[in-house]
Amino acid sequence: MSFVLTLLGAARAALRTHTDLALENLALRQQLALFRHRSKRPRFGPLDRAFWVWLSRRWAGWREALHVVRPETVIRWHRQGFRAFWTWKSRGARTGRPSIGSAIAHLVRTMALANPLWGAPRIHELLKLGFDVSQRTVARRMPRRPKPPSQTWRTFLQNHVADLVSVDFFAVPTATFRLLYVFVVLLQDRRKVVHFNVTDSPTAAWTAQQIVEAFPDDWAPRYLLRDRDGIYGDEFRRRVKGIGIAEVLTAPRSPWQNPFVERVIGTIRRDVLDHIIVLNERHLRRRLRSYFRYYHTSRTHFALDKDAPEPRAVEPPDHGRIVALPLVGGLHHRYTRRAA
């Protein structure tokens, strides 16, 4: 069998040209030279890659003589060399628009600073001064002007605190595992709860009625801040709009954007609800009413310069001795002076 293969190889060689045999011999010798290096894997240097790229362009039978790497690898080397060649060839070429002179650039900057209301289209009147320059080039040469910062949410709350009222619900479990819902209307200027109510089944109509009860007179706040709860339905929005109040909605799942009422609800829980077991609606309403009397007249706030929502007068020492008045069932006390 080996003798037959030898004869076939000799016959094939006899049919090939001298050039093919020389190139095949060169390819095999190059690969043999790679294997002579003391490394587990043949390493192709830049000259080796260049040789195979050149050979693939000159000889059609180069694939049959290649045994070290795949033909696709040689094709990839050729593409990489093509990109490297044209990168080198175009290294000195100028790209993009022609640059403008320093005098024009200085003039554009001077005009932009002298006319802060002008944009690139106006400054592009350089065309009338005999300069052939595009509007995009003018825009690129203009100095960057800091944009006026947009009003942050905190700034909005501070600027409209006197005209802003916040509303929200919070749930309270009872001794019989029912859920009661407390609706709070907070006047942000003095942190005053102007209205609250309790129900076990809140609806949009019921919530709208609470707004009417909170502002029965002609006066009403300018803005009403609330979240996007579905309880504020069409009936609620129509009633609020009829009173003349503009609604301001917080972003979805962003309770921090309604911080005043959220903080008040947390205060209510910490000061009273975490220390009692609510029996029913009447019991909860009575406890909250007692707490809000303390909250409005006695509890001081950092935001109010240590004053209460209903301002407390300062009592000098000559008003008498200090006495403690228990409030909210003894959970809190008010300290005041009384004459002996």
pLDDT of residue 38: 56
Residues 6+ apart with CB under 8 A from 224: 164, 165, 166, 167, 211, 240, 245, 246, 247, 248
Q: What are the phi and psi torsion angles at 56 (to 5°)?
A: -65, -20
Distance of CA 119 to the CA centre of its chain: 30
Residues 118-149 have pLDDT tens digits of: 778 777 776 666 777 788 887 888 887 666 55
Cβ neighbours, 10 Å, residue 304: 15
Q: Which residues contact 281 (CB under 8 A, 6 or more apart)?
A: 180, 198, 199, 200
| Secondary structure of the chain in HEC code, one letter for each residue | CHHHHHHHHHHHHHHCCHHHHHHHHHHHHHHHHHHCCCCCCCCCCHHHHHHHHHHHHHCCCHHHHCCCCCHHHHHHHHHHHHHHHHHHHCCCCCCCCCCCCHHHHHHHHHHHHHCCCCCHHHHHHHHHHCCCCCHHHHHHHCCCCCCCCCCCHHHHHHHCHHHEEEEEEEEEEECCCCEEEEEEEEECCCCEEEEEEEECCCCHHHHHHHHHHHCCCCCCCCEEEECCCCCCCHHHHHHHHHHCCEEEECCCCCHHHCHHHHHHHHHHHHHCHHHCCECCHHHHHHHHHHHHHHHHHCCCEHHHCCECCCCCCCCCHHHCEEEEEEEHHHCEEEEEEECC
Residue 148 is predicted with a pLDDT of 58
CATH class of 155-312: alpha beta
pLDDT value of position 201:
94
- Ranges in the chain, pLDDT < 70: 1-17, 28, 31, 35, 37-43, 58, 67, 91-99, 126-129, 145-151, 153, 340
Domain ranges of the chain: 18-84, 108-141, 155-312
Q: What is the rounded radius of gyration, in angstroms, for the C-alpha atoms of the chain?
A: 43
Identity of the amino acid at 54:
W
Q: Which residues contact 30 (CB under 8 A, 6 or more apart)?
A: 48, 51, 52
pLDDT for 149 equals 58
What is residue 231's predicted lDDT score, i.e. its pLDDT? 92
